[in-house]
Amino acid sequence: MHIKGTKHEFMKGLHSTIARSVLSALLVAGYSAAEADTKTDVLGKAPGATDIYQVDCYNDDAGAGAPVRLDFEVEDLTPAYPPLISVDVVSGALQASTTDTRDGDRKPSPAANVYGGAGPYMVSVYKTAKPTVQPSKLAKAKSYKETYRLTYHCRGPSGHAGTIRTTRQNQ
**Residue 140 near Ca ion by CB under 5 A:** no
Between 65 and 104, whose beta carbon lies closer to Ca ion? Answer: 104
**Helical ranges in 29-151 per DSSP H:** 31-35, 138-141
How much is the CA Rg of the chain, to the nearest whole Å?
A: 17
**# chain residues binding Ca ion, by CB under 5 A:** 4
Alpha-carbon gap, residue 109 to 77, rounded angstroms: 11
Residues with Cβ within 8 Å of residue 143, at least 6 apart in sequence = 45, 46, 47
- Residue 16 identity (one-letter amino acid): S
Between 9 and 105, whose beta carbon lies closer to Ca ion? Answer: 105
Shortest distance, CB of residue 159 to Ca ion, whole angstroms?
26
**DSSP assigned state of 157:** T
**Residue 102 near Ca ion by CB under 5 A:** yes
Residues with Cβ within 8 Å of residue 21, at least 6 apart in sequence = none
Q: Which stretch binds Ca ion (CB under 5 A): 1-9, 107-115, 117-125, 156-164?
A: 107-115
**Residue 137 near Ca ion by CB under 5 A:** no
Does an H or E element contain 25, and which? helix 2-28
Q: Which stretch binds Ca ion (CB under 5 A): 15-23, 84-92, 100-108, 128-136?
A: 100-108
Between 2 and 106, whose beta carbon lies closer to Ca ion? Answer: 106
Shortest distance, CB of residue 70 to Ca ion, whole angstroms?
21
Residue ranges that bind Ca ion, judged by CB under 5 A = 100, 102, 105, 107
